[in-house]
Amino acid sequence: MSINIGIHDLSFATTEFVLPHTELAAYNGTEIGKYHLGIGQESMSVPAADEDIVTLGAAAAAPIIARHGSDRIRTVVFATESSIDQAKSAGVYVHSLLGLPSATRVVELKQACYGATAALQFAIGLVRRDPAQQVLVIASDVSKYELDSPGEATQGAAAVAMLVGLDPALVRIEDPSGLFTADVMDFWRPNYRDAALVDGQDSINAYLQAVEGTWKDYTEQGGRSLDEFAAFCYHQPFTKMAYKAHRHLLNYCGYDTDKDDVARAIGQTTAYNTVIGNSYTASVYLGLAALLDQADDLTGRHIGFLSYGSGSVAEFFSGTVVGGYREQLRTEANRAATDRRKPVSYAEYRALHERSFPTDGGDHPTPAQTTGPYRLAGLSGHKRIYQSR
């Protein structure tokens, strides 16, 4: 017997600061059209000295706990590729900041930008096993590349929190999924580096290979036809990649790549990513938030999701929008999350980018730059110290 499981609520948070791409272009002498049109980015979220994936994740999840409580949450799955510890899950810090019950399992998942989709699918499995429980999925990342590198313009930071459960109020997630894995070195970050390494063209090619592979498996598993989908949410390392990926899918399926058709399928999913930048694991679900916030009534319509994580693992799956979903949306809060950011100059951004904690285990407080509900207060004895306001 099939049961309805999916995304019951969704909330996101981003950083205290924002760097407009006009500042970056002025610094490096780049024509602004290369950013605004070429990669489809207008600005990037920049973390303050006292915020990280934990503070972002807690800020994203807090409104969900405030609305629904935590009595039914038995599991927290934290997806990230910018982890702060090789052993302890970032989700354990979030669990503490949110005051969640001790009778909770908390784990961290990693597979580049795909991790949040793995977390969502694991959550669905747990709810199918025990329909009385709900699972809190958090995707939180800070995208960081070397200064003056080609990837610098695609940076960003955000967290998305999703409450997964039975009879969801937003989107019902459907079987089957199309899966694809290939061992490629298009993007990676060794343990000894803060900034990722990326081969830009190789990464684009690997992404497009994954589009083909996931769709092939999806159709072989008995999935929906392309014509049944009202919109598509793609992973967006930069927003133009979503357009490129969808054109590739249409070509692969033998369809024309009419510009207006592509825009109708993709355009309303890019609004938040355009101004936030790459948020790695959160990216696909920022696309979903943007779509639900902007589109005409999608009740009963089907959405395609393509989640890609370099290295590489990808998944294509579908969701159906649930009746009454508009009553659950957080459109005003979502827009406020991006509008509240304070612009910084390129020099200020550069100083934040280059800032790092000493590794001597001493006491190293952080300057209080944020105004949100949670902050990273500093390090002491190699321990991260967080505070609630």
Q: Supply the residues annotated as catalytic.
A: 81, 113, 235
Question: 140 with 78: CB under 8 angstroms?
Answer: yes
Integer Cα distance of 365 and 338 in angstroms: 27
Q: For residues 131 and 128, what is the distance between their CA atoms, to the nearest angstrom?
A: 6
Measure the CA–CA gap between 88 and 233, rounded to whole angstroms: 31
